[in-house]
């Protein structure tokens, strides 16, 4: 998988992409990440990427020309970019979830555009394949959502995680929250690990985990259970 990121603040990505799973994915050659400064595709000496909005109003709006030029250069031959998905990080986009992460993880090439300022020139939307929002709250810029997108997608690339089975039981992967987990010591401050987890019977343990996953989801995220029910009905 190849990921290209268009940003005004490329330095923000160094700490995140130089550590942990993302770093391992790059070292294994399973993922290629290129972070581009969008100002590279400006033409004036001030390297301007924004301007005042037509019609007036507060703030500045990201210009369409630098984004268009960047995409033309990065995507290359239109006949060979069938596996490319251009993603715009914007609060007006589709809410990001595990299903979306799985969908995007199947792409050979992802180009993520980080928003900034008051918003985008509306014509930028015509240049992208998908608009993504990571939640209903306000952030200063699109760099953090781009990091979230990359982290969620890269971990799904085959070979990135040492144990592929660990993906199956994680929260949201099967439409529910994950069951409770415990490790040593067996007793800590009068709180004990459930006996079933130490019984050595895989069937009993699996049954307990499934029941606890449903119970936890019902208590904390009942909307997920309702969503699964609606999906099975449709």
Do both 83 and 126 map to the same domain? yes
Give a yes or no: residue 23 inside a domain.
yes
Residue that terminates a domain, selected from 154, 181, 207? 154
Determine contact, residues 3/33, Cβ cutoff 8 Å: yes
Do both 132 and 22 map to the same domain? yes
pLDDT digits (tens, 9 = 90+) for 8-64: 999 999 999 999 999 999 999 999 999 999 999 998 999 999 999 999 999 999 999
Any idea what the CATH number is for the domain that residue 212 is in?
1.10.1270.20
Do both 191 and 88 map to the same domain? no
Whole-number mean pLDDT of the chain? 91
Please tell me the chain's helix, strand, coil percentages from 3-state DSSP, rounded to the nearest 5.
45, 20, 40
> N- to C-terminal Cα distance for the chain?
33
Residue that terminates a domain, selected from 154, 179, 208? 154
The pair phi, psi for residue 181, each rounded to 5°, is -120, 150
Any idea what the CATH number is for the domain that residue 8 is in?
3.40.1280.10
Do both 108 and 198 map to the same domain? no
Q: Which helix (H) or strand (E) holds 231?
A: helix 222-233
Mean pLDDT in residue range 194-200: 97
Tokens of residue 109, six digits: 């090439």
Do both 148 and 46 map to the same domain? yes
Do both 85 and 186 map to the same domain? no
3-state secondary structure of 35: strand
Give a yes or no: residue 137 inside a domain.
yes
User: How many domains does one find in the chain?
Assistant: 2
Mean pLDDT in residue range 55-76: 94
Tokens of residue 231, six digits: 């999906």
Do both 217 and 103 map to the same domain? no
The pLDDT score that the predictor gives to residue 25 is: 96
Say if residue 233's pLDDT is above 60.
no
Nearest to 25 by CA among 176, 16, 57: 16
Residue 39 belongs to domain spanning = 2-154
Residue that terminates a domain, selected from 154, 188, 221? 154
Nearest-5° angle of CA 178, CA 179, CA 185? 125
Percent of the chain with pLDDT over 70: 91
Give a yes or no: residue 163 inside a domain.
no
Cβ partners under 8 Å of residue 10, min gap 6: 35, 36, 37
Give a yes or no: residue 159 inside a domain.
no
Do both 21 and 106 map to the same domain? yes
Please state whether beta strands 130-133 and 50-51 pair in parallel, antiparallel, or not at all (unpaired). unpaired
pLDDT digits (tens, 9 = 90+) for 96-142: 999 999 999 999 999 999 988 778 999 999 999 999 999 999 998 99
Do both 50 and 150 map to the same domain? yes
Do both 33 and 99 map to the same domain? yes
Alpha-carbon distances, residue 23 vs 39, 105, 142, 151 (angstroms): 26, 17, 21, 11
The pLDDT score that the predictor gives to residue 61 is: 94
Do both 83 and 176 map to the same domain? no
């Amino acid at each position: 998988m190849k990921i290209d990121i268009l940003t005004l603040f490329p330095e923000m990505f160094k700490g995140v992409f130089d550590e942990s799973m993302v770093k391992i994915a790059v070292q294994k050659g399973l993922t290629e990440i290129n972070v581009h400064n969008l100002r590279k595709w400006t033409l004036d000496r001030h390297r301007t990427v924004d301007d005042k909005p037509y019609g007036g109003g507060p703030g500045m709006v990201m210009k369409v020309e630098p984004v268009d030029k960047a995409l033309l250069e990065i995507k290359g031959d239109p006949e060979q970019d069938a596996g490319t998905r251009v993603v715009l990080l914007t609060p007006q986009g589709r809410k990001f979830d595990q299903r979306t992460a799985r969908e995007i993880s199947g792409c050979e090439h992802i180009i993520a555009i980080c928003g900034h300022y008051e918003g985008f020139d509306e014509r930028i939307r015509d240049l992208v394949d998908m608009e993504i929002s990571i939640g209903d709250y306000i952030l200063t810029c699109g760099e953090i959502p781009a990091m979230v997108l990359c982290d969620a997608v890269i971990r799904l690339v085959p070979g990135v995680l040492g144990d592929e089975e660990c993906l199956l039981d994680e929260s949201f992967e099967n439409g529910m929250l994950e069951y409770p987990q415990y490790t040593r010591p067996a007793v800590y401050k009068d709180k004990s690990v459930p006996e079933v987890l130490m019984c050595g019977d895989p069937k009993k343990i699996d049954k307990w985990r499934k029941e606890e996953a449903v119970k936890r989801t019902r208590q904390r995220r009942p909307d997920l259970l309702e969503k699964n029910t609606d999906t099975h009905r449709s």
